[in-house]
Amino acid sequence: MDERIKYIGIVRSSFTNLKDCPLQENENAPKAIIEIYENFKEGISDIKQGSQLIIFSWLHQADRTVLKTKPRNDERANMTGVFSTRSPHRPNPIGMHVAKVIAVDGCYIHVSQLELLDGTPIIDMKPVI
């Protein structure tokens, strides 16, 4: 059984510093581009302008040793088990994001808002149903 995750693309974003990224896409995240690798291009053939996608990312700069955290980086909060939070720092740093498709141009999916760092790997996408 092949248990390796395959990156299907990469994010092109104005964020180059992790500190600048909002915690959620609905917190003033800018437009971004998801660049799908050529060998996965066929898989995006039916994605249309106006549709919404759930985008799964690999948060490659996350600390994979974290099991407890303070939600939303609030120092006043109690330590909370990471699986009860949306923290990017976790054993398997999979991010989940919702974005509206602005345009599809070849291997490039332009989306309305995405709070990801430039260069973040994309591992999957699914339509919002």
What pLDDT, in 10s, does the model give residues 8-66?
Answer: 999 999 877 766 665 556 566 789 999 999 999 999 999 999 999 999 999 998 899 99
Residue 68 in any domain: the answer is no
Residue 122 in any domain: the answer is yes
Total domains, the chain: 1
CATH code (residue 54): 2.40.30.70
- Please check whether residue 30 is in contact with residue 104, taking contact to mean a CB–CB distance below 8 angstroms: no
- Taking the CB of residue 120, how many other CB atoms lie within 10 A of it? 27
Residue 3 in any domain: the answer is no
CA 110 → CA 36, 96, 101, 106, 117, distances in Å?
A: 11, 17, 6, 11, 15
Residue 52 in any domain: the answer is yes
Q: What confidence score (pLDDT) does residue 24 get?
A: 57
Instruction: Look up the domain containing 44 and give its range.
Output: 9-60+92-127
Residue 18 in any domain: the answer is yes
- Please check whether residue 129 is in contact with residue 122, taking contact to mean a CB–CB distance below 8 angstroms: no
Coil vs helix vs strand at 10: strand
